[in-house]
Amino acid sequence: MADVRRAAAEVFGAGLSRAERFAALLERHGVERGLIGPREVDRLWERHLLNSAVIGERIPPEVEVVDVGSGAGLPGIPLAIARPDLRITLVEPMARRVEWLTEVVDDLDLDVRVLRGRAEEKAVRAEIGTVDVVTARAVAPLARLVGWCLPLLREGGMMLAMKGASARDEVARDADAVTRASGGTPTVSECGAGLVEVPTTVVIVERIRPQASAHGKRRRNTVGVRSKRAG
Ligand SMILES: C[S@@+](CC[C@H](N)C(=O)[O-])C[C@H]1O[C@@H](n2cnc3c(N)ncnc32)[C@H](O)[C@@H]1O
């Protein structure tokens, strides 16, 4: 526990009290609202908050990030707390999860946008345009994920897919799908070494070709969008 506290202080810095508040909200409501399993309550910091926030190691300063399939807010909320320099949008199709995410963003007073919809939907793509980084944790196999996430990236942008032990197998199995989706050669990277007991494995895919068709410029606060940021 002492190590977890030290890591939390290091990873969240000035945002530590917000991270504690997020952990408390998940602990109090996460199970009853179907966001986390009952066994997760005792390992929220290691398996969820820290494990999510450490992927910030691979994200450059002050870029625009979309977290696809945010669910309970992972990795998007810990990332927003640890990295207030990022402009973050959480994309989630399920109404009750969107409600949760909106409540959390309000409660923690985070400058984060919540967008309801599926990443591959035309309206979602039009709303987001293209960004620098897309994150996803536990959303879909790599082949499907690149089809949903890479169209949201500018050329040279990066998808960071948090994967467990399956990372290298998925990269080998889904290489063709990555190429078809305009992705470069995936790399597998470990984040959080020396901070978390089990480093977070991330599959990183760069978008190497521009989009075949433009999705239009980013617009704010249209259908299903909740934002605190000034538009
Ligand atoms: C297993 S949960 C993981 C949630 C969270 N990322 C986490 O690690 O706790 C998968 C989430 O992805 C969302 N999802 C599924 N398909 C999606 C899509 N096409 N676009 C955006 N989100 C999607 C689901 O609604 C669900 O909330």
- pLDDT computed for residue 228 by the predictor: 57
CB of residue 141 inside a 6 A radius of ligand 1? no
Q: What is the pLDDT of residues 171-214, one digit of tens each?
A: 999 999 999 999 999 999 999 999 999 999 999 999 998 755 54
Provide the pairing of β-strand 131-137 with 200-206. Answer: unpaired
Reported as a single tens digit per residue, the pLDDT across 211-230 is: 555 444 444 433 455 565 54
DSSP string computed for 73-122: TTTHHHHHHH-TTSEEEEEE--HHHHHHHHHHHHHTT--EEEEES-TTSH
Which among 79, 92, 139 is the best mutation to test ligand 1's pocket, defined by most ligand atoms within 8 Å of the CB? 139
Per-residue pLDDT, 227: 60
Domains, the chain, in order of start with CATH, read: 2-215 (3.40.50.150)
Per-residue model confidence (pLDDT) at position 221: 38
The answer on whether 147 is annotated among ligand-binding residues is no
